[in-house]
A = this chain, B = another copy of it.
Amino acid sequence: MKLLEDYILKEGRIIDGNILKVDSFINHQINPTLMQELGKDLAEYFKDKGINKILTIETSGIAPSLMCALYMNVPLVFAKKAKPSTMNDSYTTTVTSYTKNKVYDIVVSKEMLNEDDKILFIDDFLANGEAFKGIEKIIKESKASLIGVGIIIDKVFQKGHKYIIDSGYDLYSLAKISKLEDGLITFE
């Protein structure tokens, strides 16, 4: 998606060699008009696939997912990174983030997913796919179906992209980065 690639080139910064910082328009400050365009594009791609619910993970997946949910006219559920005291039974799994060098839980209330659900999972970044594997596990446990995966920025040179494709899921990424080196961003 050209609009997004232009934003990444203009406002993104590479730090520590291979971390792309997009905090001026995606994950700290959010550009609402850009989110609207991202959501619209995702909704257009997935519109005829029978999706009845969107799933994301807090926090940075919420903005593009919400816009997509609005255009698809379906509810959005966000997995939480800690179980609130007010939540009853939940699907819970542990995710290891290599980039952030930490382990965290992702939690979805059992009330939010059921076997009739046809899920579109959306996230802001795809790198090693650890968060995705957690979501995949939760969806399997709930007996819902994972119909598609929408990613804002897909670092296709890391392991997650191949894992999702090899698993046979319908993956749609708005920006595919094939290389992050020497301060340069290369799109596929």
Contact = CB atoms under 8 A, between A and B. Distances in A.
Q: Report, as a range, how many residues of chain A touch the other chain.
A: 35 or more
Interface string A102-117: 0000001101100000
Contacts of A31: 75
A188 interface: no
Name A's interface SS.
mixed
B112 A80 contact: no
Interface stretch (A58-66, A126-134, A141-149, A156-164): A58-66
Interface string A52-81: 000000110011001101100111111010
A21 interface: yes
A167 interface: no
Contacts of A70: 32-33, 35-36
